[in-house]
Structure 1
Amino acid sequence: MLRSLRIYYGDRSRAAAMDRLYGGFVRRGDLVFDIGAHVGDRVASFRRLGARVVAVEPQPAMLWMLKLLYGRRADVAIEAAAVGRVAGSTCMMINADNPTVSTASPAFIGAARDAPGWQTQRWTRSVEVPVTTLDALIGKHGRPSFIKIDVEGFEADALAGLTRAVKALSFEFTTIQRDVALACIERCIALGYARFNAALGESQTLVRADWVGGEEMASWLSGLPHAANSGDIYAVLT
C-alpha cells in the first residue's frame, strides 16, 4: 500500500498530465464515478478539477486508505463494493504484493498465468465482497458526466450493468485479455458511443489526435504488441 501511495501520489508531473487528460471530460461541478478507485489518485485528480466523486472500491485495505484520505470530504462518497452485471456478491482475489491487480475475474488470473511479464504475480487470498451495478449507483447518486472503470478483467461485467449511456467513460484494457476490451467496445457501441480514443499505460496522453469509430478502435487494439501491456480506452457519445 505504501508503494502504491508513493507511485500514485509522489509524481507531480504525472498528476498534472492526469489533470490535463481528465480535463477534457470533466468540468467543475460535474459528478464522476471512479470504479476501482484503489488508493484514490484519480479521485484526487477529479477533485482538483472541481468534480464531485463517487469512489467505488471492494478491497478492504484500499477502502481503509480511501476513507483515511477522503472519508471526511463532502465532495467524495465512498462505496464499498465491486461493480458487475447484477447486484449480489462475488469472490475478490487479492494480490497482496501488487493490489492494483487484485480482481474479481478468475479469467483474468488464468490469462495472467505464465504470460510474459506476469509470471511473478500471485493471488494468495480471497474475500467475499458485495456487488452493485452502474445503474444502481446512478439511482443512488445521480447520473455522472464521466465514468472511469479500472477493475482488472471485470470491465465488461461492469459495463453490462449500465443500460443508458453517460456523456463519456473510460475502461482499462490489457493485452493478455483483449477479448474483454473488445467486448467493452461492442457494449459501448450498443449504448450509442460514437467516438473512441486510447492512452497507453500510465502515459495520461491520448494516442490519437483524431477520435475514431468503434470498429477502428477495435482494430487498433487487436494490432497492439503484447509488450504494450495495458492502457485505457475512452468513449464519448458525440
Structure 2
Amino acid sequence: MQTYDDLIFDVGAHIGNDTDFYLRKGYRVVAVEAVPGLVQQCKTRFANEIASGQLILEEVAISDAAEKGEISFFINPEYSEWGTTDKERVKRNTRFGSDQVEKIRVPAIEATELFRRHGVPHYMKVDIEGADRSCLHAVVALDTPPRFFSIESDKLEYDAVCEDLRLLQKAGYRRFAVVQQAGYGFSTINTRTRHGEDLSYQFQPSVSGPFGDDLPSEKWVTLEEAEREYRRVFREYRWFGDNQPRLIRQIGIVLGRLRNAALPGWYDTHARLD
C-alpha cells in the first residue's frame, strides 16, 4: 500500500478546525465526518480546497459494527463535538448534564477502507468519541503505518491507555507524547509549511493542535515514560475527572484556572516511528 508524505487523515473532523491547520501547512487532507450538518459546514468552509482536490470529505462514521453499511449515530444538539456511535459516551454526556440526544443513521465503513481508498498518510489524527480504537487496530495491521499518529486518550481506565500504547508499539511506533489538549484554542504557533515556508497560525477552539515535529522535542518519550506520565494524569482524573460529581469537576476547573493549567483537562496520545 502506497504511503504519501503530503497526506493527512483527519478522522473526526467536526467543523474542520484541525483540517484548516493541516491545509494551511500545505498538506492534502482526507477529512472524515459523519454528521450531515457538520459535513455541510465543511463543504461551505472549504469549497475552494474541495474543488482543487486538496481536501476530500468522507461522509461516514468509522466502525467495525456497521450493519449493511450504516450505523446508529447519536447527535448532541447542545455540544456538537460530542456526537458518537458509542452508547456509553451518551451515558457519560447525560452525567455531564446534557441529555439532549438525537439518534440518526449514517453511512459507516471500517478504518481499513480509508487506507484502501487513499493510501497511508504522513499523519493520522483520530478523535471519534469512543470508536478510536477501531482506527488503531487498522493501523496495527498495516505493513507501514503513518509516520505520525494521534488518538484521544481514555479518561476512565489507565489500563486502556496502556493498552493503546502497547498497540502503538506493536504497530512499530517507538516514541510517544502525552499531550494536554485543553488550552490550545486561540493560542498561536510559529511553524513551517511542508514546503519550508514560515507560518504563524492561531488555533481555533476544540482542536487537536500541533503534531509531529511541531511538538517540542522533550515531549517525545519512551513507552515506559509515557505510562508514568499517564499515572500522574490519572491521579488528577480520580480527583476531578468524568466520574466525579459536577460540583467536584467545576472545582477542578477553577483550580486549573488559578494555576494556569487545566485540571484535569483531556489528553491525546501521539506516536512517531522515528
| Higher alpha-carbon deviation: 162-171 or 130-139 | 130-139
1:62-83 deviation per Cα after TM superposition (whole angstroms, max 9, x unaligned): 1110111124422000001112
Aligned to 2:232: 223
1:89 paired with 2:70, answer yes
Which of 97, 107, 115 aligns to 1:120? It is 97
Residues of 2 paired with 1:177 and 1:151: CA distance?
A: 17
Aligned to 1:147: 124
* Superposition pairs of residues 1-238 of structure 1, within 5 angstroms: 30-73=6-49, 74=52, 75-85=54-64, 88-114=69-95, 119-162=96-139, 163-164=141-142, 165-176=145-156, 178=158, 180-202=160-182, 203=184, 204=209, 206=215, 209-224=218-233, 225-226=236-237, 227-238=263-274
Aligned to 1:4: none
Helix, strand or coil at the partner of 2:179: strand
Residues of 2 paired with 1:56 and 1:103: CA distance?
A: 13
Distance 1:58 1:182, change over 3 A: farther
Residues of 1 paired with 2:167 and 2:5: CA distance?
A: 28
Kept after mapping to 2: 8 A contact 1:91/1:129: yes
Residues of 2 paired with 1:179 and 1:122: CA distance?
A: 28
Q: What is the number of equivalent residue pairs in this alignment? A: 207
Helix, strand or coil at the partner of 1:161: helix
1:50-97 deviation per Cα after TM superposition (whole angstroms, max 9, x unaligned): 000000001111111011112442200000111233664321111111
Please report the TM-score for the alignment, with normalisation by the length of structure 1. 0.77
Kept after mapping to 2: 8 A contact 1:146/1:168: yes
Instruction: State the 1:112 CA deviation.
Output: 4.7
Kept after mapping to 1: 8 A contact 2:61/2:107: yes
Residues of 2 paired with 1:60 and 1:211: CA distance?
A: 37
When the two chains are superposed, the root-mean-square deviation of aligned CA atoms in Å is 2.4
Structure 1 counterpart of 2:165, which letter?
Answer: I
Please report the TM-score for the alignment, with normalisation by the length of structure 2. 0.68
| Higher alpha-carbon deviation: 51-60 or 183-192 | 183-192
Gaps of 5+ in 2: 185-208, 238-262
**Following TM superposition, where does structure 1 have runs of at least 4 consecutive aligned residues deviating by more than 6 angstroms?**
none
Name which structure has the greater RCO, CA cutoff 8 Å, separation 6+: 2
Instruction: State the 1:111 CA deviation.
Output: 4.2
Distance 1:169 1:124, change over 3 A: same
Gaps of 5+ in 1: 1-27
Bigger-Rg structure (1/2):
2
Instruction: State the 1:133 CA deviation.
Output: 2.8
| Higher alpha-carbon deviation: 178-187 or 69-78 | 178-187
Q: Percent same amino acid at aligned positions?
A: 25
| Higher alpha-carbon deviation: 209-218 or 53-62 | 209-218
1:73-127 deviation per Cα after TM superposition (whole angstroms, max 9, x unaligned): 220000011123366432111111101111111222334553xxxx223341111
Residues of 1 paired with 2:65 and 2:132: CA distance?
A: 13
Residues of 2 paired with 1:84 and 1:193: CA distance?
A: 23
Instruction: State the 1:137 CA deviation.
Output: 1.0
Residues of 2 paired with 1:153 and 1:196: CA distance?
A: 21
Distance 1:175 1:63, change over 3 A: same
